[in-house]
Amino acid sequence: MMLSPDIRSNVEYFDTNAPSLGEERAPGFRELELVQRFSDRRAPPFGTAGARAEVGPGTSRLNRLTVGNIVQGVSAVATRDPSDQNPIAVVGYDARTHSPAFAELTQSVFCGNIINVKAFDRYAPTPLVAFSLLYHGAKVGVVITASHNPASDHGIKVFWENGAQINSPLDEQIAASINSLGSATDIIRMDRAEAQRRGLLEFIGGKERSAYLQGVAELMPGGDYCRSLDVRPTLIYSAMNGVAGSLMYDALRL
């Protein structure tokens, strides 16, 4: 099999730029696997809701380089309105192996683009992050998660200022921004200490969780109604691969 010029270019791009973000160069993959791992220019396909792919080396996989590219693309679109002087991003993540590292990188890129970051101090379910976006009047929300998909996968879900997942044409604009990046130097980052010193990074969680549960309580029938039932309802709940278990437990105790 002959590798196409595009595949060769993508491999060269990854091997040149990945080390600057702490990723190793692509090992000696066979040609078919090179095609599978390097069929995309700068990151896995970005569409409605965000991107999902297997974790590992390659421009078609999720790793520190491609996550950085995605968040830089989101940042460029989120900051294009000059009237929005102080955009806010809410960042959450799930309990998968690479989630904390990808979340920290996401925070770093947003802060590097002078976007105020409200970052969850521990894993948070996706609906809580979307709620917190509205709670803080944020421009964008990002959740590092692959939902119910296999453990080998990871993903980035993106929400916009209306609290909903992005759709067309916003996803196309972000995808174009990602693919326009030339090298890793285009990924603007700021380390955590500097971001906190400049007031760009704040860790959140408790207040947002309480506000979310209060909103749930306002939608539920009152305790008197529940106690008046002749039959006690039985509920079976599974968080599957998610992290909403403790939040669900607190909601059921309201």
Catalytic center residues: 147
Q: Which of 64, 204, 76 is nearest to 140 (CA)?
A: 76
Token pair for 67: 């996550």
Residue 7: other Cβ atoms inside 10 A? 19
Plot region of 50 (φ>0 → left; ψ -120 to 50 → alpha; else → beta): left
Could you tell me how many helices (H) and strands (E) the chain has, helices first? 10, 6
How distant, in Å, are the alpha carbons of 76, 132, 196 from that of 115? 10, 16, 12
DSSP state of 62: B
Q: How far apart are CA 219 and CA 164, in angstroms?
A: 20
131: its two tokens: 């709620």
Q: Which helix (H) or strand (E) holds 7?
A: helix 5-17
